[in-house]
């Protein structure tokens, strides 16, 4: 029995199911690459949407964005504290002590309490060489006193603790000159003691007897001699 094994007997040969040609491989690789690119694009878009959404809803992000500005004038600068302390010392208090206005005010107040206030010229004329008291003949007791004048004198001396006063005692021409000298000194001392009793320190008062010098009226008449028995004051 004869078998014809000729492959070219005219029968059609069915195509193989496993075609490993290069064209099919290239098509498969192209589809895989396109799929990966699409997936990467989806991830990028999704991540961008998530970032944008989280920035809109996060309060901290809003605050940060509001405080950051390209305009230097809009940058918020924290205010300096009202008080700064250095080594436990309040610098504002130190600045207040060093302030020229406070320093001058302190000096002015000190001068007011230590330096005597100058009286106006007319007031000095009214007080200086005034006669606060007169005396009886041959006596150092007050015969009359000008209480208003004495009050003004005492007020000035109290207000001006650096001021002092000088008292000149006088006598009339009655009697011996030596006796009149002693009487004039006694009269000056008597008025000094009177001022001292009115709270004026004795160290601020000087007293001198002038005898019959500088009469303010004529010694030829009784009324004139009465006026000459006196003391006169001068502020120093």
Both 61 and 129 in one domain: the answer is no
In a domain, 201, yes or no: yes
In a domain, 204, yes or no: yes
pLDDT score for 61: 45
Both 214 and 126 in one domain: the answer is yes
Interhelix angle 100-114/91-98, nearest 10 degrees: 50
Both 142 and 39 in one domain: the answer is no
In a domain, 14, yes or no: no
Both 61 and 125 in one domain: the answer is no
* pLDDT greater at residue 166 or residue 5: 166
Domain that holds residue 128: 121-235
Return the closest-CA partner of residue 203 out of 166, 176, 169: 166
Looking up residue 167, the CATH number of its domain turns out to be 3.30.1330.60
What gap in Å lies between CA 169 and CA 230, rounded to an integer? 6
Both 202 and 125 in one domain: the answer is yes
pLDDT score for 45: 78
* pLDDT greater at residue 131 or residue 119: 131
Where is the domain boundary, 48, 65, 82?
Answer: 65
**How many domains are contained in the chain?**
2
In percent, how much of the chain has pLDDT > 90?
44
In a domain, 15, yes or no: no
Each residue's pLDDT tens digit, 139-160: 999 999 999 999 999 999 999 8
Each residue's pLDDT tens digit, 205-215: 999 999 999 99
Is the pLDDT confidence value at 190 over 80? Answer: yes
Each residue's pLDDT tens digit, 3-61: 455 555 555 555 555 455 555 555 666 667 777 887 878 888 777 777 767 655 555 44
- φ, ψ of residue 12 in degrees (nearest 5): -80, 135
pLDDT score for 130: 92
Each residue's pLDDT tens digit, 195-233: 999 999 999 999 999 999 999 999 999 999 999 999 999
pLDDT score for 34: 75
In a domain, 47, yes or no: yes
In a domain, 92, yes or no: no
Radius of gyration, alpha carbons of the chain? 60
In a domain, 160, yes or no: yes
Both 54 and 151 in one domain: the answer is no
In a domain, 102, yes or no: no
In this prediction the pTM is 0.50
């Amino acid at each position: 029995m004869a078998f014809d094994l000729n492959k070219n007997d005219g029968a059609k040969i069915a195509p193989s199911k496993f075609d490993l040609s290069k064209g099919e491989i290239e098509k498969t690789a192209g589809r895989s690459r396109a799929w990966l690119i699409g997936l990467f694009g989806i991830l990028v878009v999704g991540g961008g949407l998530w970032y944008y959404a989280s920035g809109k809803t996060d309060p901290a992000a809003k605050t940060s964005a509001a405080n950051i500005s390209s305009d230097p004038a809009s940058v918020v600068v924290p205010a300096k504290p009202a008080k700064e302390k250095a080594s436990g010392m309040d610098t504002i208090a130190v600045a207040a002590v060093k302030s020229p206005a406070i320093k001058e005010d302190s000096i002015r107040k000190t001068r007011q309490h230590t330096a005597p206030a100058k009286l106006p010229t007319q007031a000095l004329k009214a007080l200086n060489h005034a006669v606060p008291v007169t005396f009886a003949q041959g006596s150092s007791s007050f015969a009359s006193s000008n209480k208003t004048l004495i009050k003004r004198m005492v007020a000035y001396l109290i207000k001006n603790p650096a001021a002092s006063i000088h008292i000149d005692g006088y006598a009339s021409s009655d009697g011996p000159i030596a006796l009149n000298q002693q009487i004039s000194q006694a009269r000056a001392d008597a008025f000094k003691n009177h001022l001292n009793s009115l709270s004026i320190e004795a160290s601020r008062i000087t007293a001198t007897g002038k005898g019959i010098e500088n009469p303010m009226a004529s010694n030829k008449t009784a009324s004139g001699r009465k006026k000459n028995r006196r003391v006169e004051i001068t502020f120093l």
